[in-house]
Amino acid sequence: MDMLALKKAREKESGSHAILIYGDSGSGKTRFAATAAMIPEIRKIIWLDLENGKDTILSMGLPDSALQKIQLFSMLDTRKDPFVMNAILRMFSSAQDVPICETHGKMNCVKCIGEKAAFQQFNLTKLTHNDLVILDSGSQLTDCGVNALLKGQPEDAILQIQEWGTVNNWLKSILQVVQVGRHTNFVVLTHVLYDEEYTGTGPNKQLVRTKQYPMIGTKTFSTMVGKYFGTIVQLEISGSKHKGGSSTTYRPNVQTKSRLNIEIEKSATLDMKALLIHGGIIKAPKNEPTN
């Protein structure tokens, strides 16, 4: 297929897109992502909540019609009982329904099966280009990988170098599915890695600059994780306001980009409509203006 044919196909039908949103704790990542539920064209949002983000969503004042779109999978694990990494790997690789219990967020939970408790089904192949899968968050998913490898060990135990390679490989398997976006759109939220560069040594050591990257996996993996996403958004609090950007020229030393030339820093309000509708990821009805 030539590029003109691809252009015409894109104009007729939505294509899936992968979005990475990162910022410090409290910078508004969860609130920003949850505004997608207010978009009429969004049919369903699958929210994989690994760090109790539901409290933020419930306090936003979203109308019932928006809340009803969000199907929450609350999945919180610990080093004593790690289960999330294995579940996410299965959920992102299986073409079959993956049952997740509503009480514990566990796959095929033996206790909930015995008690005949409620289960939710996760199946990527049943989602559409008018749906979203939101993973909250990539940094917490990294911790879940650490928990899986250090199961039952003391809290001060740390991973060996080769074990970090295993965590990165797990993350890579998940993010490759996000990158391809065969069935639906993906949004991954995560925190910030501050990469400081110095000159000199000892008393002459001076900070030259600080770069910001999305934090997923090891430091090296974090600096390269942007390749799995079509759009990278950085959020921050500046002047008592939530602000963000997505263009490659948004701020020096801050990783942002958009293959669709989306510039949310130019939007009047900070919400997902600037990405999904104005950015052309999800098509608005022909009689509705996109600006």
* Average pLDDT across the chain, whole number: 90
> What's the pTM value of the predicted model, to 2 decimals?
0.90
Q: What is the pLDDT of residue 12?
A: 57
With a cut of 50, say whether residue 51 has pLDDT above it.
yes
Give, in degrees to the nearest 5, the angle at Cα 13 between 230 and 48. 50
pLDDT tens per residue, range 5-50: 656 665 555 567 999 999 999 999 999 999 999 999 999 999 999 9
| Length reported for the chain | 291
pLDDT tens per residue, range 128-152: 999 999 999 999 999 999 999 999 8
Show me where the domains of the chain are located. 16-276
With a cut of 60, say whether residue 201 has pLDDT above it.
yes
CATH topology of domain 16-276: Rossmann fold (3.40.50)
Q: What is the pLDDT of residue 197?
A: 85
Contact 16, 183 (CB under 8 A): yes
Cα–Cα distance, 5 to 108 (Å, whole number): 45
Cα–Cα distance, 34 to 53 (Å, whole number): 10
Q: Name the percent of the chain lying above pLDDT 90.
A: 74
Confidence of residue 288 (pLDDT cuts 50, 70, 90): very low
- Tally Cβ neighbours within 10 Å of residue 50: 23
CB-based burial, 188-211: b 16+ in 10 Å, e otherwise: bbbbbbeeeeeeeeeeeeeeeeee
